[in-house]
Amino acid sequence: MRFNLTKMKIFYFKKLYTLIFLLNIAFVCQSCLVSRCKRPQITGYIYDSISRKPIENCKVGENLTDTKGYFQLKELRYSEFTFIGYEAPPLMVNEGIIKDGYENKSIQLFNPFGGGIRKGAVHNCDTIFLKELQ
């Protein structure tokens, strides 16, 4: 009887250690899939540099400005498999501003640790003035 009891204890300890090991692996793997920022939400206005009036239908990134010259680019994110302790990659954004009859400009953002920006981040460009071509 004593022999069977010892075997049972060893069997249950092995199962317990296996369960604890699997739970630790699951916890580590859960924190390996992270959401990274590809581009924060960008908002602002586009105006004519001389008349100071809003420019309608100006292409900013993939969107067009409204009648008040307002634009809003949605936040873009991606998922990345990483390990604990790894730094977020730098964030580099370059969105073109194009309107016929005006000089082209671009919105440029750089943040060395920007990929780790929280979800819902907003960058306000305020007012951008475009110069009319002669």
Is the predicted pLDDT of residue 117 greater than 90, yes or no? no
Rounded to 5°, the CA angle 42-92-47 comes to 35
| The pLDDT of residue 85 | 65
Give me the domains of the chain, ranges plus CATH numbers.
Answer: 31-130 (2.60.40.1120)
Residue whose structure tokens are 């075997």:
7
Half-sphere exposure of 129 (CA within 13 A, CB side): 7
Distance of CA 85 to the CA centre of its chain: 18
Structure tokens of 107?
């919105």
Is the predicted pLDDT of residue 92 greater than 70, yes or no? yes
pTM beyond cutoff 0.75: no
Confidence of residue 102 (pLDDT cuts 50, 70, 90): very high
Mean pLDDT of 71-88: 81
Distance CA 98, CA 92 (A): 20
Distance of CA 27 to the CA centre of its chain: 24
Mode of pairing for the β-strands spanning 33-39 and 76-81 = antiparallel
Q: Looking at 1-90, which runs of residues are DSSP E strands?
A: 33-39, 41-48, 59-60, 63-64, 70-73, 76-81
Which tens digit of pLDDT belongs to each residue from 41-60?
999 999 999 999 999 999 99
